[in-house]
């Protein structure tokens, strides 16, 4: 299906928007080579369900296995590069800020690729695998200060080190939620990119944006439960569609 018309509409809305919120999911990192949550993982992890591993129960039951899984994931995340979709979002953020507009990238991803592409206004609502904390004291360390010689990793305070991610059944970080809702309540354009729109509360952020009167857009490879809700849906790889939108915005600037 030709995506020319949706791209034109999304470009025009981005050109006029005063306050933009972008929600991203694992799909925006897929073209960097990172597996999404619902696509089969390769190798060892094909027999484990991420939904089972990304839980406090799994960590308490088998801390070594869960530590290995996150070691495998952050090793992959550090080996890959941001893709054209991440870079396009960083350029979009720059363009909006240059025009005194507001923009917030709310990401469900824990891979740090938005920041490596140059995005600054990033809210990590599901945390990050690049920082770990003690299960007893909450004292945090960055990956560089951690040794993975002994697994699970003993903390300095008699506990274990766990990744600073939000597991299923855990509350999202208060400051991240507050920043997200504040941005949603004042936005006039909401884009959902590379997410299956199935994990709560992120999947309901679109409702807050709609209540604020925002236009809503989905850029995703496949249809999702919000596809029929949004004002405009462009289906295809974000690594292609987002650069196409940036090119259209450039043409507007040159015209
Ligand atoms: C909470 C961090 C309050 C870890 C993640 C029972 C008890 C407790 C809670 C619940 C419960 N039942 C339901 C819940 C709520 C639960 C939930 O939503 N469950 C769902 C699954 C039903 N949520 C929670 O538990 C949240 N906390 O509610 O706290 C509470 C507390 C206690 C009791 C009650 C309530 C915490 C949720 C956060 C979980 N942590 N990640 C880690 O990463 O290891 S979630 C995980 O899923 C990732 O963050 C991931 O990003 C996220 C969502 O998945 P997607 O990003 O959308 O990825 P997915 O693979 O699904 O889809 C990819 C999409 O990309 C696809 O649509 C595909 O078409 C598209 N795509 C692929 N390639 C491309 C592409 N698009 C464009 N271009 C491409 N190239």
The pLDDT value recorded for residue 35 is 86
pLDDT in tens, 75-98: 999 999 999 999 999 999 999 999
Can you tell me the distance from the alpha carbon of 187 to that of 238, in angstroms, rounded to the nearest whole number?
22
Distance CA 11, CA 70 (A): 37
The pLDDT value given to residue 250: 94
Residue 62 has what pLDDT?
97
Pocket test for ligand 1, best of 25, 41, 218 (most atoms within 8 A of CB): 25
Lowest mean pLDDT among 1-10, 49-58, 196-205: 1-10
Which pLDDT score, from 0 to 100, does residue 255 have? 84
pLDDT of residue 52: 87
Cα separation of 127 and 41, whole Å?
21
Mean pLDDT of the chain: 95
Tokens 């855990």, residue?
Answer: 170
Atom of ligand 1 nearest to the CA of 126: 2
| pLDDT recorded at residue 45 | 65
Could you tell me the sign of the dihedral formed by the alpha carbons of 207, 212, 213, 215, in that order?
negative
| Position 186 pLDDT exceeds 80 | yes
Q: Can you tell me which atom of ligand 1 is nearest the CA of 85?
A: 78
Ligand 1 centroid, distance to 25 Cα (angstroms): 8
Within 6 A (CB) of ligand 1 lie: 25-27, 30-31, 36-38, 54, 108-110, 126, 165-171, 194-196, 198-200, 220-222, 224, 237-239
Residue 211 has pLDDT above 90, yes or no: yes
Q: What is the mean pLDDT of residues 170-175?
A: 97
3-state secondary structure the chain: CCCHHHHHHHHHHHHHCCEEEEEECCHHHHCCCCCCCCCCCCHHHHHCCHHHHCEHHHHHHCHHHHHHHHHHHHHHHHHCCCCHHHHHHHHHHHHHHHCCCEEEEEECCCCCHHHHCCCCCEEECCEEEEEEEECCCCCEEEHHHCCCCCCCCECCCCCEEEEEECCECCCCCHHHHHHHHHHHHCCCEEEEECCCCCCCCHHHHHHHHHHCCCEEEEEECCCCCCCCCCCEEEECCHHHHHHHHHHHHHHHHHC
Using one digit for the tens of pLDDT, what is the confidence trace for 190-202?
A: 999 999 999 999 9
pLDDT the model gives residue 41 = 62
42 — pLDDT class (breaks 50, 70, 90): low
Placement of tokens 């295809």 in the chain: 236
Query: Which residues are within 8 A (CB) of 99 and not within 5 positions of it... i.e. 6 or more apart?
Result: none
- To test the ligand 1 pocket, which listed residue (194, 222, 235) has its Cβ within 8 A of the most ligand atoms? 194
For ligand 1, the distance from its centroid to the CA atom of residue 111, given in whole angstroms, is 14
Is the confidence at residue 38, as pLDDT, over 90? Answer: no
Give yes or no for residue 44 having a pLDDT over 70. Answer: no
Q: What is the pLDDT of residue 40?
A: 65
Catalytic residue, chosen from 126, 157, 186, 235, is 126
The predicted-structure confidence for 131-166, as pLDDT tens digits, reads as follows 999 999 999 999 999 999 999 999 999 999 999 999
What the block records as the tokens of 121 is 């206004």
Other C-beta atoms closer than 10 Å to the C-beta of 243 total 16
Tokens of 190: 């909401």
pLDDT at residue 4, as a whole number:
82
Percent of the chain at pLDDT > 70 equals: 96
Beta-bridge partner residues of 162: 133
Pairing of strands 215-220, 189-193: parallel
Question: Quick one: which atom of ligand 1 is closest to the CA of 195?
Answer: 57
The torsion region of residue 234 among left (phi > 0), alpha (psi -120 to 50) and beta comes to beta
Under a CB-based contact definition with an 8 Å cutoff, are residues 103 and 22 in contact?
yes
Alpha carbon nearest to ligand 1 atom 24, residue: 168
Can you give the pLDDT at residue 220?
98
Judge whether 235 counts as a catalytic residue: no
pLDDT at 2 > cutoff 90: no
Q: What is the pLDDT of residue 85?
A: 98
Q: What tens digit of pLDDT does each residue of 110-129 get? A: 999 999 999 999 999 999 99
């Amino acid at each position: 299906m030709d995506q020319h018309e949706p791209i034109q509409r999304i470009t025009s809305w981005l050109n006029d928007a005063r306050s933009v919120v972008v929600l991203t999911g694992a799909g925006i990192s897929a073209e960097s080579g990172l597996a999404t949550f619902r696509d089969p993982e390769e190798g060892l992890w094909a027999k484990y369900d991420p939904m089972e591993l990304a839980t406090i129960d799994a960590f308490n039951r088998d801390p070594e296995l869960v530590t290995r899984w996150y070691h495998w994931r952050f090793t992959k995340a550090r080996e890959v590069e941001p893709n054209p979709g991440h870079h396009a979002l960083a350029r979009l953020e720059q363009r909006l800020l240059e025009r005194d507009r507001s923009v917030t990238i709310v990401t469900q991803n824990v891979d740090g690729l938005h920041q490596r592409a140059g995005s600054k206004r990033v809210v990590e609502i599901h945390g990050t695998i690049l920082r770990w904390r003690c299960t007893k004291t909450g004292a945090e360390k960055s990956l560089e200060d951690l040794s993975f010689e002994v697994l699970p990793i003993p903390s300095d305070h008699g506990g274990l080190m766990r990744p600073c991610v939000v597991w299923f059944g855990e509350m999202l970080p208060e400051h991240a939620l507050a920043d997200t809702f504040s941005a949603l309540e004042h936005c006039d354009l909401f884009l959902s990119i590379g997410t299956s729109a199935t994990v709560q509360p992120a999947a309901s952020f679109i409702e807050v944006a709609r209540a604020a009167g925002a236009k809503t857009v989905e850029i995703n490879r496949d249809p999702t439960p919000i596809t029929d809700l949004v004002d405009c849906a462009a289906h295809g790889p974000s690594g292609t569609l987002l650069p196409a939108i940036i090119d259209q915005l450039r043409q507007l600037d040159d015209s």
